[in-house]
Amino acid sequence: MTSPETRAEQTRAEQLSIGEVAERTGLSVHALRLYEREGLLIAPVRRNTGGRRRYTTADLEWLLICVRLRESGMPLAELKRFAGLVQDGPGNEADRLQLLNAHQKRVEARIRALEECHSVIARKVGIYSDHLARGAAGGLWDPRG
């Protein structure tokens, strides 16, 4: 069993400042404050005796998930809904899954579209590389006609 002193040490060890969390997540301090105001964190952010925010490793892990969801195109309103479902606790897992499945499908569609773009770009890179390797730029698009 863990002693109260050990638990207190673990709690202190896992406390991170807003600057440390910003650095580790890539979010700005302003964005972290916005996430807190918008209710996107699972639990209220603790504060030290001086009133400064102190984040736990659990807060950090959740924020890293939020960052990935946002980077993959999840709208803030949808992220807020997902966070609300998680905050509500057990019993709504099917709703969470439905939300994540819908987002995953959108991400997969974006990936397919980007792969098509990549294919066009790769083809053009190949054409230009071949022409330059032969020392012949003729036959490439010329805006002057």
pLDDT digits (tens, 9 = 90+) for 113-133: 999 999 999 999 998 898 888
Whole-model pTM: value is 0.78
Which residues, other chains included, contact 36 with Cβ-Cβ below 8 Å and sequence gap of 6+?
A: 45, 53
- What is the distance between the alpha carbons of residues 22 and 60, in angstroms, rounded to a whole number? 9
- Beta bridge partner(s), residue 73: none
Residue 14: what are its φ and ψ, rounded to 5°? Answer: -90, 0
- What is the distance between the alpha carbons of residues 100 and 106, in angstroms, rounded to a whole number? 10
What is the Cα gyration radius of the chain? 24
Q: Cβ(16)–Cβ(45) under 8 Å?
A: no
Which residues, other chains included, contact 7 with Cβ-Cβ below 8 Å and sequence gap of 6+?
A: none
Per residue of the chain (145 residues), give pLDDT as tens.
444 454 445 455 579 999 999 999 999 999 999 999 999 999 999 999 999 999 999 999 999 999 999 999 999 999 999 999 999 999 999 999 999 999 999 999 999 999 999 999 999 999 889 888 888 767 677 666 4
Topology at the third CATH level for domain 1-89:
Multidrug-efflux Transporter Regulator; Chain: A; Domain 2 (1.10.1660)
Q: Where are the domains of the chain?
A: 1-89, 93-136
